[in-house]
Amino acid sequence: MKLAEYVVGGDVRIVDRAWPTLPKGGLLVKTEACGLCSGELMAWYLDRKAPHVLGHEVAGVVEQSDDSRFPVGSRVFTHHHAPCLKCDACKRGASVHCTQWKRTFLDPGGMSEYFAVSADGLNDALRVDGLRAVDAALIEPLACVVKSIRRSGSKGKNTAIIGAGALGLMHALLLPDAHLIERNRQRIAWARRQRLTVKEPQPDRYETVFVCPGTPEAVQLGFEILAPDGTLVLFAPMPPGEFLPFPQEQAYFKDARIVNSYSCGPEDTRAAFKILTNGGLRAEQVVSDFVMLERLPEAYQRMRDGEILKAMVVFD
* Whole-number pLDDT of residue 164: 98
What is the pLDDT averaged over residues 5-17? Answer: 94
Contacts of 292 (CB under 8 A, 6+ apart): 313, 314, 315, 316
Contacts of 51 (CB under 8 A, 6+ apart): 5, 6, 7, 8
How does residue 313 score in pLDDT terms, banded at 50, 70 and 90? very high
259 touches 233 (CB < 8 A): yes
Q: Does position 155 have pLDDT exceeding 90, yes or no?
A: no
Question: CA dist 77 to 179, 187, 256, 261, Å?
Answer: 31, 28, 37, 22
What is the pLDDT averaged over residues 304-312? Answer: 96
Instruction: Give percent above pLDDT 90 in the chain.
Output: 96
Neighbours of 228 (CB within 10 A): 10
Across the chain, where does the E strand assignment appear?
2-7, 11-16, 27-35, 52-53, 57-65, 75-78, 114-117, 125-127, 159-162, 179-181, 197-198, 206-211, 226-234, 257-260, 289-291, 311-314
**Cα(4)–Cα(13) distance, rounded to whole angstroms?**
6
What are 163-215's pLDDT values in tens digits?
999 999 999 999 999 999 999 999 999 999 999 999 999 999 999 999 999 99
* Whole-number pLDDT of residue 9: 85
* Whole-number pLDDT of residue 266: 98
Question: CA dist 285 to 15, 131, 134, 193, Å?
Answer: 31, 15, 11, 9
Which residue ranges form the domains of the chain, and what is each CATH number? 2-138+287-314 (3.90.180.10), 145-260 (3.40.50.720)
Instruction: Give percent above pLDDT 70 in the chain.
Output: 100
CA-CA-CA-CA torsion for 157, 162, 166, 169, nearest 10 degrees?
A: 20
What are 215-255's pLDDT values in tens digits?
999 999 999 999 999 999 999 999 999 999 999 999 999 99
What are 268-292's pLDDT values in tens digits?
999 999 999 999 999 999 999 999 9
What are 125-152's pLDDT values in tens digits?
999 999 999 999 999 999 999 999 999 9
What are 30-58's pLDDT values in tens digits?
999 999 999 999 998 989 988 999 999 99
What are the strands of the beta sheet with 2-7, ordered from one edge?
A: 11-16, 2-7, 52-53
